[in-house]
Amino acid sequence: MSGSQNETEYTTDSSVTTELLRGDNTHQLALEAYKVRELTSCLECMTRAELMEVLQTVGDNYVEVRKLVESKVSERLDNKTTMYRCEMSPVKGFRGCLQAARKAMDEAESRVRFLRLWTSLPDSGNDDFTNMVQLIADHCGAFAHPRTRANGLTVLCEMCYILMDLARDDFWEQDRSNYGWDVSLENALLEVVTAMTPAERQAVVHDHDLWSALVYVYQESDHRIFRAFKDVIDEFPNMDSSTGEDDGENDELRSLFEESDQDRGQNEVDMSEAE
């Protein structure tokens, strides 16, 4: 009896408990654990080498992280340095993506027509068309080859044409908003354009076919489709504001395009096949 009383007194004695905590450093461990309860605190505790390892791993596996890192680095470079860095990237084409996008639209239309029989809404969370659009934008980031960005911009613009044709159908007028494809295209176009250097944007304005196509989409936009396309157009310089101060950079960019076109058949990779 006395033995159990002694055990109870021993375990409930605060001074003894405190001494035990001090002895095995539990209090300090708890304090350190509390300090790293948030991601920011965890990152602050890591060494530079550990941070580099984590960033390298996630950058290799998540394109959004790689794009963010490249964007931050490009902000510290002048336009000419950025352009030469982009020149080292392979040229990528997206013609196959255009064909795949048409197929995705057809399949989506069939799916919606079928679901209508069951009074259901289409699943817009992860459709093939949206994924294809984002794939193009992902490969047109800050360090992509200028020709890659031009290819991506052209194909995205052609996708806008396809969507506008479909939007004239009563079917799409009712169901288009469930997919939000026009918004996906606007966001992708903005990603590509904002990654361009001023010289690249100027080159787009002087490309009669491409610029006319972009302006046409803007002029045809209304409250039903491409409501924010003006934001895309506003990223480009006005035709009237074009001066000779960028002529040197434009010449370099033009020669870069011409050089890329010469060996395009050998080096250009179609992303629809690469993926």
Torsion region of 25: left, alpha or beta (phi above 0 gives left; psi -120 to 50 gives alpha): left
On whether both 130 and 211 belong to a single domain, the answer is yes
Output the six-digit token pair for 129. 């068309």
- Neighbouring C-alpha atoms within 13 Å toward the C-beta of 27: 7
- Interatomic CA distance for residues 268 and 275, integer angstroms: 14
**Within a domain: residue 64?**
no
Strand partners, 269: 92
pLDDT tens per residue across span 71-123: 888 788 777 777 778 888 888 888 888 788 878 877 777 766 665 554 454 55
Q: How many domains does the chain have?
A: 2
CA separation for the pair 105, 167 (Å, rounded): 12
Residue 193: pLDDT above 50?
A: yes
Mean pLDDT, the chain, integer: 74
What is the Cα–Cα distance from 136 to 148, expressed in whole angstroms? Answer: 9
Do 118 and 39 belong together in one domain?
no
Percent of the residues in the chain that have a pLDDT greater than 90, as a whole number: 20
Residues 88 and 135 in one domain: yes
How much is the pLDDT for 177?
A: 65
Helix 146-167 × helix 128-138 angle, to 10°: 160
The answer to whether residue 54 sits within a structural domain is no
Per the structure, the complete domain to which residue 22 belongs is given by 2-45
151's tokens: 């290819």
Same domain, residue pair 210 and 132: yes
Same domain, 26 and 99: no
Judgement on whether residues 155 and 212 belong to the same structural domain of the protein: yes
pLDDT by residue (tens digit) across 2-59? 454 544 444 444 444 444 445 566 767 666 766 667 777 778 778 888 888 888 888 7
Question: Is 152 part of a structural domain of the chain?
Answer: yes
pLDDT value at residue 260 = 42
What CA–CA distance (Å, rounded) separates 44 from 23? Answer: 28
Measured in whole angstroms, the distance separating CA 189 from the mean position of its chain's CA atoms is 10
Predicted pLDDT at 119: 47
Residues 22, 126, single domain; the answer is no
- Asked if 108 and 163 sit in the same domain, the reply is yes
pTM assigned to the model: 0.62
Cα–chain center distance at 263: 28
Token code pair at residue 152: 């991506």
Q: Does 56 fall in a domain?
A: no
214 or 272: which carries more pLDDT confidence?
214
In a domain? residue 269: yes
User: Considering the domain boundaries, does residue 251 fall inside one?
Assistant: yes
* Same domain, residue pair 107 and 182: yes
**Are 133 and 40 found together in one domain?**
no
Let me know if residue 52 belongs to a domain: no
Q: Are residues 170 and 223 in the same domain?
A: yes
165 located within any domain: yes
Residue 13 sits in the same domain as residue 131:
no
